[in-house]
C-alpha cells in the first residue's frame, strides 16, 4: 500500500497553481495525486495519479482519499486548490440564486472541510517525520469585499476561519494548516496575476517547515511570506 515516497494530494488541479505545485513536489520526490472533474483516470502514470471528482459534491472526498491511500499511500500534504465564483449583481448581492450560492459554498468551504477531516485521519497514521500539512489556496476576500463576488468571499472567509481554528487546535500534534494568499509587494491583491510557479515554491517550503507558522500565509512572488495589515 503506502510507498516509501511521500504523497501529496491536490484537490483542484488547474493548469496554473495546481500543475506548478504538482511539479514542485514531484521534483522533491513526492508522488502526486490530482483530483478534479476534468481529469481522466486512464491518464495516470507511475508517479502521478489522476482522479475524476466533482468537488461540488462533498461526498466524493472520502472516495478520493481512499483511492489515493490504496494506490499511492496516505498523503502527508493535502492542497485544497478548488474555487468557485458565481457573479452577482453588485447592487443586489442577495439576488444570487440559492442553487448557485450553495454550489459555490460547497466547493469553497464544505468540501474543503471534509478534505481537512480526511487529512487529519491520515496524519494520525503517519510517522512523526512526515510533513502533515494542509494548505488552502485562498485570496484577499477573507479581509475585504469585491462587490460582484459575494459567494466567493463568503466561502473564503468561512474557510479562513476553519483554517485558523485548525492551526491553533492541532499544532501541538504536528499537524499544520495554512490559508495562502498571493499578494503584490504593496499588499494589494494579485487577482489574475497569480504565479503558479511562486505557489509551487512557496507551498513546498511550507511543507518542509517542522512547526506551524502563521495560519494566514500572505506571500509575494520572489519574496515569500510577508505580513500585511488587515484591510
Domain ranges of the chain: 7-225
Cell numbers found for residue 92: 443586489
Contact indicator for 9, 75 with CB cutoff of 8 Å: yes
- pLDDT value for 1: 40
Cell numbers found for residue 43: 491518464
Q: In this predicted model, what pLDDT tens digit does every residue of 124-183 receive, in sequence order?
A: 999 999 999 999 999 999 999 999 999 999 999 999 999 999 999 999 999 999 999 999
CA–CA dist 93, 91 (Å, integer): 6
Tally Cβ neighbours within 10 Å of residue 5: 14
**What mean pLDDT is predicted for residues 47-70?**
96
**What mean pLDDT is predicted for residues 106-129?**
98
- pLDDT value for 161: 98
Q: Which fold has domain 7-225?
A: Rossmann fold (3.40.50)
CA–CA dist 38, 195 (Å, integer): 22
CA–CA dist 4, 188 (Å, integer): 41
Map the chain to HEC letters: CCCCCCEEEEECCCCCHHHHHHHHHHCCCCEEEEEECCCCHHHCCCCEEEEECCCCCCCHHHHHHHHHHHHCCCCCEEEECCCCCCCCCCCCHHHCCHHHHHHHHHHHHHHHHHHHHHHHHHHCCCCCCCCCEEEEECCHHHCCCCCCCHHHHHHHHHHHHHHHHHHHHHHHHCCEEEEEEEECCCCCECHHHCCHHHHHHHHHHHHHCCCCCCCEEEEECCCEECCCCCC
Question: In which band, very low, low, confident or very high, does the pLDDT at 67 lie, cut at 50, 70 and 90?
Answer: very high
**What mean pLDDT is predicted for residues 109-129?**
98
Spatial CA neighbour of 154 closest among 219, 99, 86 = 86
Average pLDDT, the chain: 95
Active site residues: 156
**What mean pLDDT is predicted for residues 69-96?**
97
Does 110 have pLDDT greater than 80?
yes
% of the chain at pLDDT higher than 70: 98
**What mean pLDDT is predicted for residues 71-99?**
97
- pLDDT value for 13: 87
Question: In which band, very low, low, confident or very high, does the pLDDT at 3 lie, cut at 50, 70 and 90?
Answer: very low
- pLDDT value for 231: 56
Which position has the grid cell 499578494?
183
Q: In this predicted model, what pLDDT tens digit does every residue of 176-228 receive, in sequence order?
A: 999 999 999 999 999 889 999 999 999 999 999 999 999 999 999 999 999 99
Cell numbers found for residue 154: 463568503
CA–CA dist 154, 145 (Å, integer): 9
Amino acid at each position: 500500500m503506502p510507498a516509501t515516497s511521500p504523497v501529496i494530494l491536490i484537490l483542484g488541479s488547474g493548469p496554473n497553481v495546481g500543475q506548478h505545485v504538482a511539479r514542485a513536489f514531484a521534483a522533491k520526490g513526492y508522488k502526486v495525486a490530482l483530483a478534479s472533474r476534468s481529469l481522466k483516470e486512464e491518464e495516470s502514470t507511475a508517479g502521478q495519479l489522476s482522479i475524476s471528482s466533482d468537488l461540488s459534491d462533498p461526498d466524493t472526498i472520502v472516495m478520493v482519499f481512499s483511492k489515493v491511500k490504496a494506490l499511492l499511500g496516505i498523503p502527508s500534504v493535502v492542497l485544497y486548490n478548488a474555487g468557485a465564483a458565481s457573479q452577482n449583481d453588485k447592487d443586489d448581492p442577495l439576488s444570487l440564486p440559492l442553487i448557485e450560492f450553495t454550489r459555490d459554498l460547497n466547493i469553497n468551504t464544505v468540501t474543503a472541510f471534509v478534505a481537512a477531516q480526511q487529512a487529519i485521519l491520515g496524519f494520525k497514521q503517519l510517522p512523526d517525520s512526515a510533513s502533515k500539512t494542509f494548505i488552502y489556496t485562498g485570496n484577499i476576500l477573507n479581509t475585504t469585499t469585491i462587490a460582484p463576488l459575494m459567494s466567493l468571499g463568503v466561502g473564503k472567509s468561512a474557510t479562513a476561519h476553519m483554517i485558523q481554528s485548525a492551526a491553533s487546535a492541532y499544532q501541538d500534534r504536528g499537524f499544520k494548516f495554512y490559508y495562502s494568499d498571493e499578494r503584490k509587494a504593496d499588499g494589494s491583491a494579485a487577482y489574475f496575476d497569480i504565479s503558479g510557479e511562486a505557489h509551487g515554491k512557496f507551498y513546498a517550503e511550507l511543507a518542509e517547515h517542522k512547526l506551524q507558522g502563521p495560519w494566514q500565509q500572505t506571500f509575494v512572488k520572489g519574496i515569500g511570506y510577508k505580513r500585511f495589515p488587515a484591510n
